[in-house]
Amino acid sequence: MFKKIWNWLLELFFPSNLKCIFCGRDIPDPKVCYCEDCAETLKFNVGQRCKVCDDLVSADSEVCENCKSHHKSFEKAVAPLVYQDAVRGVVLKLKNSNARYLAEPMARMMFERLQKENFDFDLLVPIPLSPKSLSKRKFNQAKLLADELGRLCNKPVDSTSFVKRKETRHQKELGFLDRQKNLEGAFKIEDRAKILNKNILLVDDVMTTGATANECAKVLKKYANHVFVVTFARNRLTKPANDDFFRKNT
């Protein structure tokens, strides 16, 4: 109870929507969720990108090496930011410090990125957590992002028809193929009528190798029509020649 009142007072005097989500400094306009300094240093997912997974590609190719060697079941995945530094900090804060207020500004950045695509989707589906992870964390960060994004897109969110039925081995050290194997049979459709012939936008916080999104899309497409993916950030498997490469949002 005390904590609730304390948080309410904090929010009243120091509203979180007037602070940069990356460094916590004051920002003049709550519509832009990061400060000017962060705008200069953040690594936006820019440049010539893979038309399937949004990873960096060389100027003369349309599809990255990963997508060339491993076919993806989703139509296209996009992310506004590269998963690094301050971006990683925000994702971990949302997940581990219960900073749920971050979901709204994060979703706004995802919405901005989505507006550059013409994804035709009917339904947003967050990538589910296993019952064990959900009971440990108490919430699914992908669902928080999907709920906010659904409001911005004015589209429904379905977080019950597609579930993760078992806990999978920690994937951090695994490559795409091992991750894919690790995830086999992990997801299932609970209510196929809600998925049938729908175009789905899968939502998650981070895409690492694309194996999770790919497995989800594979399962969903037994009934769904198309599957698109949006995440807040993505890991770049293809590295640019130098770090100055990343510049303001294109």
Please give the residue ranges that form the binding site for Zn ion (CB under 5 A): 20, 22-23, 35, 38, 50, 52-53, 55, 64, 67
Q: Closer to Zn ion by CB, 52 or 195: give it.
A: 52
Q: Closer to Zn ion by CB, 85 or 184: give it.
A: 85
Q: Closer to Zn ion by CB, 6 or 245: give it.
A: 245
CA dist 48 → 57, 118, 174, 175, 236 (Å): 6, 18, 26, 23, 12
Closest distance to Zn ion from the beta carbon of 32 (Å): 10
Element at 231 (helix H, strand E): strand 227-234
Q: Closer to Zn ion by CB, 69 or 154: give it.
A: 69
Q: Closer to Zn ion by CB, 57 or 219: give it.
A: 57
Cβ(54)–Cβ(45) below 8 Å:
yes
Tokens representing 67?
């997508």
Enumerate residues 6+ apart whose C-beta is below 8 A from 232.
Answer: 79, 80, 81, 87, 90, 91, 106, 109, 110, 145, 205, 206
Q: Quote the DSSP letter at residue 188.
A: E
Q: For the residues of 54-86, what is the DSSP string, one character each?
A: --B--TT-SS-HHHHHS--SSSEEE-SEESSHH
- Cα separation, 92 vs 72, in Å, equals 27
Ramachandran area for residue 31 (φ above 0: left; ψ -120 to 50: alpha; else beta): alpha
Q: Quote the DSSP letter at residue 224.
A: -
